Amino acid sequence: MYHLVKGIYSNLTRKEEYSVLVLGLDNAGKTTFLEKLKSEYSDSKKSLPPERIAPTVGQNVGYITFEKTHLRLWDLGGQENLRTLWESYYNDAHGIVFVVDSSDRKRLEECKRALEIIITNEDVEGLPILMLANKQDREDRLEVEDIKEIFNKIAERMSARDSRVLPISALSGDGLKDAVEWLTTRLVRNKQNRPPTLK
């Protein structure tokens, strides 16, 4: 009897969890973004201070809860030799956050090519994609409108998929709530296409 009740309870209390890939070139601020999210929205509130964040070689994983929506975030290394590994995560992903360094004008073309490779992969079809124009706290940044203009041609290829460009500062947390709010709304809306994992 105990096992039956335990099984029913476990079934009733299972939570939906969405996997989100945090992608972008190295030094775009992906890990800083993940750590800031953890400090704001994880149960433990444990996160690395910015001065202790090193370049990601491989992956970092973080869990957050936003308005009863549980997210598992995969921060994947953005060095050129690691980007080929990204596609092995696409099948299990429910959404993608693509982080752009707004202050690194020299690498915008490289950034654009990396995003084009992502969105043309058939395993990404139908996934919501949130592009974050990071480092908006810096004086040498490009404005969000400038970044949107650069990436407009890519957006045309994204058909009816949900996509958005939002300004943030992963360091200060400005724009973080808008980003998480937009993302969770789209993940839940897209669950018929890509059902969440039950935990």
Domain that holds residue 125: 21-194
In a domain, 180, yes or no: yes
Q: Which residues, other chains included, contact 60 with Cβ-Cβ below 8 Å and sequence gap of 6+?
A: 31, 34, 74, 75
38 is in an annotated binding site: no
pLDDT at residue 45 in the model = 63
Tokens 């970092």 appear where? 60
Query: Mutual orientation of helices 176-189 and 30-41 as an angle, nearest 10°?
Result: 80
Give the three-class secondary structure for 28: coil
Q: CATH number of the domain at 54, please.
A: 3.40.50.300
Amino acid at 30: K
Number of domains within the chain: 1
Residue 139's pLDDT is 93
Q: Is residue 16 part of a domain?
A: no
| SS3 assignment, position 110 | helix
Q: Is 25 annotated as a binding residue?
A: yes
Residue 96 — φ and ψ, nearest 5°? -130, 135
Q: Which residues are catalytic?
A: 79
Q: What is the pLDDT of residues 88-134, one digit of tens each?
A: 999 999 999 999 999 999 999 999 999 999 999 999 988 999 999 99
pLDDT digits 0-9 by tens, 128-179:
999 999 999 999 999 999 888 877 777 777 665 688 999 999 999 999 999 9
> Does 115 reside within a domain?
yes
In a domain, 11, yes or no: no
Residue 66 in any domain: the answer is: yes
Tell me the two tokens of residue 43. Answer: 């149960």
Residue 84 known to bind ligand: no
Q: Where does the chain have alpha helices with state H?
A: 2-12, 30-41, 108-119, 144-156, 176-189
Domain assignment present for residue 9? The answer is no
Kindly state whether residue 99 falls inside one of the protein's structural domains: yes
The strand pairing partners of 95, in sequence order, are 20
> Over the stretch 17-69, which tens digit does the pLDDT of each residue have?
999 999 999 999 999 999 999 999 887 766 666 666 667 767 889 999 998 89
Which residue(s) pair with 22 in the sheet?
75, 97
Q: What type of residue is 15?
A: K
Whether residue 14 lies inside any domain: the answer is: no
3-class SS at 21?
strand
Binding site annotation covers 197?
no
